Amino acid sequence: SAVISQKPSRDICQRGTSLTIQCQVDSQVTMMFWYRQQPGQSLTLIATANQGSEATYESGFVIDKFPISRPNLTFSTLTVSNMSPEDSSIYLCSVENRGRDEQYFGPGTRLTVT
Amino acid sequence: AQSVTQLGSHVSVSEGALVLLRCNYSSSVPPYLFWYVQYPNQGLQLLLKYTTGATLVKGINGFEAEFKKSETSFHLTKPSAHMSDAAEYFCAVRGSGGGFKTIFGAGTRLFVKA
């Protein structure tokens, strides 16, 4: 299995500002995923990040709002830009195992926008 | 395309009683099926998964699930609930092979009464 850490674990931010969330994995992985979990809801995939290429965004999510970096095989960042209260969510980083039949999740970043 | 439906957003059982959380899926290809658990303020942890082979899958913490292709179901059970089982449970599906995303159900919150 993979051990995933995220920073920060939580933050309270003012509207109009940006926050960058870091995801660190203890092993090299090809694909990393960023999810959003709004209060009381399920997980929604924001984007898939492969090392050395542009992230692939899901419908409803755009690069200007959620820029992603993937500089190497163990690290990624997600930035939530120009935040509004509607961005208040838990943001989760995830990776696949080698067999691509299992995903591991980080502990999440709980974001509150005031 | 894949989709998953969890029946019941909330389930309440007494300690020691049977736990049954329902999940139905649809998939255009043979599916991989998963149950994840999320404890308060934590990320997701894999309980069990079905990929191929035996249709009755045993997971951690005494949980098991049975893949029933004819019923397109993957219900999660545990013979005897424990207070520590109180959490949010997510069923998920993805297509076997490459190129498919994991789709999560809406989640079922399990309450365990003393």
The tens digit of pLDDT for each residue in B24-81 reads 999 888 889 999 999 987 889 999 999 988 999 999 999 999 999 999 999 999 999 9
Specify the pLDDT at position A102: 82
From B103's Cα to the closest Cα of chain A, the distance in A is 8
What's the average model confidence in pLDDT over A56-72?
94
B34/A3 Cα distance (integer angstroms): 19
Contact check, Cβ <8 Å, B43/A106: yes
The DSSP-derived string for A40-90 is T--EEEEEEEETTSPPEEPTT--TTTS-EEEEETTEEEEEE-S--GGG-EE
What's the average model confidence in pLDDT over A48-68?
91
Query: What are the structure tokens assigned to B53, written together?
Result: 């082979």
The closest CB to that of B32, out of A45, A101, A104, belongs to A101
Query: What are the structure tokens assigned to A46, written together?
Result: 């924001």
Query: What are the structure tokens assigned to B15, written together?
Result: 């300690």
Q: Which of B80, B26, B49, B109 is nearest to A100 (CA)?
A: B49
Task: Characterize the bridge pairing of strands B56-58 and B44-50.
Answer: unpaired
Specify the pLDDT at position B98: 66
What's the average model confidence in pLDDT over B7-18?
96
A48: chain B residues, CB-CB within 8 Å = 101
Query: What are the structure tokens assigned to B52, written together?
Result: 């191929």
Whether residue A98 is predicted with pLDDT greater than 80 in this model: the reply is: no
For chain B, what is the radius of gyration of the CA atoms?
A: 14
